[in-house]
């Protein structure tokens, strides 16, 4: 009997299990990148990534900066290739591509090699073109995600960078074992919170189904680690539901983007613990313009009709792992109900005309569906 084809929902549902499994094998999982970081005496990290890979990296940036104590710069591959590649001797370069066949990632690797620098690939396919082109390749523990619009890939990538920061800090002596174990327990709490978010999402979504399924344009706003969550939420709404969606830093949102708003707009504000009072104030202000405003918060003292509470007692830097399912499930369910998986036929023609993947992608374990994979 043929295996049932997995859906986007299946991969969202599997995230807590993958978080727990990857935390349990943290040392083994991160070892190739940790060994390179320590032996190379690097002080700063450049992450070259786009799409969901950029968003997952952004979700983890605050954690890495705090616990590893180094600067983390995230640059899109085309920007890196064309202009922003002024690497210093103590800069570590990590190129991320879940598929490992993205042309822009391969071009970025060429630039790194021409500069005579070592290049690290993070990918879901160690037999990919990118893995073969880099000095070191590591699988970040995503497994095989065979749908076009990645969800588990974002969560496991963010988790990988968090685990990398812990193990690298331990290896270079800036973190002791008890501190590391405490943080890993927090990451396991995030797996529980991710699971609970998925359960609680159903009733909230059904309650607001009319408004959410009628979205025509939207903003998703965040700050700190949840700027990455906002970016991923906006990307998912755009590529699945086909609703134009912008991602903004929360305070930046009221410095211009809000001016065009009407009561038809939909706005999501993410409060993961930083600036909670200000974020709540901006949520109340947004509600003056549109009834389609929502606050996703880890602050249990905030309650209301359009407030979704994410129950998690973890540092703000970890909260993206808890909050991401809200946007992933919303994107999946609306797209499913409205039948928007099939895109305009001209979009497929464009994809063939200006491909984002190398010709070897057809043999990739990720090539079942091609759009939207970084």
The DSSP string of 21-70 is HHHHTHHHHHHHHHHHHHHTT--EEEEE--HHHHHHHHHHHHHHHHHH--
d(CA 210, CA 37) in angstroms, rounded, equals: 50
d(CA 295, CA 274) in angstroms, rounded, equals: 14
The predicted pLDDT at position 370 comes to 47
- Sole residue written with tokens 């988790």: 159
User: Which secondary-structure segment (H or E) carries 107?
Assistant: helix 103-114
The predicted pLDDT at position 361 comes to 72
| C-alpha count within 13 angstroms, C-beta hemisphere, residue 334 | 24
Q: What is the pTM of this model?
A: 0.95
Domains and their CATH numbers in the chain: 8-175 (3.40.50.10490), 191-338 (3.40.50.10490)
Tens-digit pLDDT string for the chain (374 aa): 456 789 999 999 999 999 999 999 999 999 999 999 999 999 999 999 999 999 999 999 999 999 999 999 999 999 999 999 999 999 999 999 998 889 999 999 999 999 999 999 999 999 999 999 999 999 999 999 988 899 999 999 999 999 999 999 999 999 999 999 999 999 999 999 999 999 999 999 999 999 999 999 999 999 999 999 999 999 999 999 999 999 999 999 999 999 999 999 999 999 998 899 999 999 999 999 999 999 999 999 999 999 999 999 999 999 999 999 999 999 999 999 999 999 898 988 888 898 887 777 765 555 555 444 46
Report the chain's C-alpha Rg in angstroms. Answer: 20
DSSP string, 189-236: HHHHHHHHHHHHHHHHHHHTHHHHHT-SSEEEEE-TTHHHHHHHHHHH
The residues near 217 (Cβ < 8 Å, ≥ 6 apart) are: 243, 244, 245, 264, 265, 266
The residues near 107 (Cβ < 8 Å, ≥ 6 apart) are: 77, 78, 81
The predicted pLDDT at position 3 comes to 60
Query: 242 — alpha (psi -120 to 50), left (phi > 0) or beta?
Result: left
3-state secondary structure of 279: helix
- Judge whether 76 and 30 are in contact, CB under 8 Å: no
Q: Is residue 266 packed enough to be buried (19+ CB in 10 Å), middle (13-18) or exposed (0-12)?
A: buried
The predicted pLDDT at position 347 comes to 85
DSSP annotation of 260? G
d(CA 64, CA 315) in angstroms, rounded, equals: 13
Taking alpha carbons only, the member of 75, 80, 119, 122 closest to residue 97 is 122
The predicted pLDDT at position 352 comes to 84
């Amino acid at each position: 009997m043929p295996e049932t084809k997995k859906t986007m929902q299946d991969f969202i549902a599997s995230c807590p299990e993958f978080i727990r499994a990857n935390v349990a094998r943290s040392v083994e999982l991160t070892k190739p990148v940790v060994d390179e970081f320590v032996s190379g005496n690097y002080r700063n990290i450049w992450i070259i990534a786009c799409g969901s890979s950029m968003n997952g990296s952004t979700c983890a940036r605050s954690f890495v900066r705090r616990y590893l104590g180094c600067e983390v710069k995230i640059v899109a591959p085309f920007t890196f290739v064309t202009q922003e590649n002024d690497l210093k001797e103590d800069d570590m370069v990590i190129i991320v591509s879940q598929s490992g066949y993205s042309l822009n990632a391969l071009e970025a690797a060429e630039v790194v090699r021409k500069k005579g620098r070592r290049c690290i690939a993070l990918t879901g396919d160690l037999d990919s073109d990118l893995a073969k082109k880099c000095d070191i390749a590591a699988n970040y523990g995503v497994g095989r995600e065979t749908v076009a619009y990645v969800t588990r890939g974002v969560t496991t990538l963010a988790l990988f960078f968090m685990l990398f920061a812990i193990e690298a800090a331990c290896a270079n002596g800036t973190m002791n074992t008890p501190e590391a174990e405490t943080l890993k327990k927090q990451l396991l709490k995030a797996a529980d919170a991710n699971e609970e978010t998925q359960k609680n999402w159903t009733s909230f979504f059904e309650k607001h189904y009319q408004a959410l399924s009628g979205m025509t344009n939207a903003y998703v706003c965040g700050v700190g680690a949840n700027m990455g969550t906002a970016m991923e939420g906006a990307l998912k709404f755009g590529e699945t539901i086909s609703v134009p969606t912008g991602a903004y830093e929360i305070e930046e949102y009221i410095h211009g983007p809000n001016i065009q708003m009407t009561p038809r707009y939909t706005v999501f504000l993410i409060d993961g613990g930083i600036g909670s009072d200000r974020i709540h104030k901006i949520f109340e202000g947004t509600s003056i313009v549109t009834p389609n405003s929502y606050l996703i918060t880890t602050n249990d003292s905030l309650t209301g009709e359009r407030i979704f509470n994410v129950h998690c007692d973890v540092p703000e830097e970890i909260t993206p792992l808890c909050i991401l399912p809200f946007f992933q499930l919303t994107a999946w369910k609306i797209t499913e109900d409205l039948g928007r998986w099939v895109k305009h036929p001209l979009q497929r023609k464009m994809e063939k005309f200006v491909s984002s993947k190398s010709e070897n992608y057809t043999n990739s374990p990720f090539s079942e569906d091609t759009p939207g994979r970084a």
